[in-house]
Amino acid sequence: MITVKNETGFAKMAVAGRAVKAMHEAIREAAKPGITTKELDVIAADVIESHGCTSNFLNYQGMGAAVPFPGVICASPNNVIVHGIPGDYALKEGDILSIDAGAIYEGYHGDAAFTMAIGEVPEIVARLIDVTEQSMWAGIEQVKAGNKTGDVGHAVQTVVEAAGFSVVTEYVGHGIGTAMHEPPQVPNYGEPGTGIRLKEGYAICVEPMVNIGEWKTTMLDDGWTIVTEDGSLSAHFEHTIALTPEGPKVLTA
């Protein structure tokens, strides 16, 4: 069900959004060669707790998952697209790392993701990260009352494909409110003027997942980790946007 948020709901989502932003900044700061993704998870847990929030990822078991998610962050290096489990993997120079992690404040959710390079990466890899972020902002520009989800997806897809990269189609953006994943689904592709109409009171997560190679994905045996089928690198960016009476507001930036 779509929760239509009033001023109080959006105010609580804004608190969650600030916690998410602080958590992401702390991870960005700490993500250096040698640190493990489990160590980043511990840092993330501390930050959201210090903001009076709880994790919406820890023990999450939506989307038909066989087992609850065992981390506060999804830590997805290199060819991992999304839902990487924090563990013993130590970052190394030349990696890319996608972090997806959210927070709950008094029942209201925030959700965001980013990809960063660990040290120096080849030019095409830096471009993958830039293009993915740009495609997210192009999508966010279309998140306004009266537009449709297809307007958002079309904007994302246009930026990605112009750069010669591939949009992941099996995982999508979503509504957010008193649950992390609410309708409507917000695919990262589509035709303008199609899909679900966005309305004041909605909040939407725009989250392109972009591969250097083909769009196809595979799930690992852990029941969570999604990798590119062709082994190519993948990037992911996400923000939570509220459609308030004063217009759209990005709550996690």
**Binding site residues, Mg ion, CB under 5 A:** 111, 205, 207
Give the E-state strand segments of the chain in sequence order. 74-77, 80-82, 96-105, 108-117, 166-167, 173-175, 182-186, 203-206, 209-211, 217-219, 226-228, 234-236, 239-244, 247-250
Taking the complex as a whole, how short is the minimal distance between the CB of residue 73 and Mg ion, in angstroms? 13
User: Would you say 75 and 84 are in contact if contact means Cβ atoms under 8 Å apart?
Assistant: yes
Helix, coil or strand: residue 240? strand
Taking the complex as a whole, how short is the minimal distance between the CB of residue 240 and Mg ion, in angstroms? 8
User: Would you say 99 and 82 are in contact if contact means Cβ atoms under 8 Å apart?
Assistant: no
Taking the complex as a whole, how short is the minimal distance between the CB of residue 99 and Mg ion, in angstroms? 12
Q: Which is nearer to Mg ion, 160 or 206 (CB)?
A: 206
DSSP per-residue string spanning 94-105: T-EEEEEEEEEE
Taking the complex as a whole, how short is the minimal distance between the CB of residue 144 and Mg ion, in angstroms? 19
Q: Which is nearer to Mg ion, 118 or 186 (CB)?
A: 186
Taking the complex as a whole, how short is the minimal distance between the CB of residue 76 and Mg ion, in angstroms? 13
- Separation between Cα atoms, residue 59 and residue 28, nearest integer Å: 23
Amino acid in position 76: S
User: Would you say 47 and 23 are in contact if contact means Cβ atoms under 8 Å apart?
Assistant: yes
Q: Which is nearer to Mg ion, 37 or 240 (CB)?
A: 240
Helix, coil or strand: residue 110? strand
User: Would you say 27 and 40 are in contact if contact means Cβ atoms under 8 Å apart?
Assistant: yes
Q: Which is nearer to Mg ion, 2 or 35 (CB)?
A: 2
Taking the complex as a whole, how short is the minimal distance between the CB of residue 111 and Mg ion, in angstroms? 4
User: Tokens 């709880």 correspond to what residue?
Assistant: 54
- Separation between Cα atoms, residue 221 and residue 203, nearest integer Å: 33
Q: Which is nearer to Mg ion, 121 or 155 (CB)?
A: 155
Q: Which is nearer to Mg ion, 91 or 176 (CB)?
A: 176
Taking the complex as a whole, how short is the minimal distance between the CB of residue 207 and Mg ion, in angstroms? 5
Q: Which is nearer to Mg ion, 118 or 204 (CB)?
A: 204
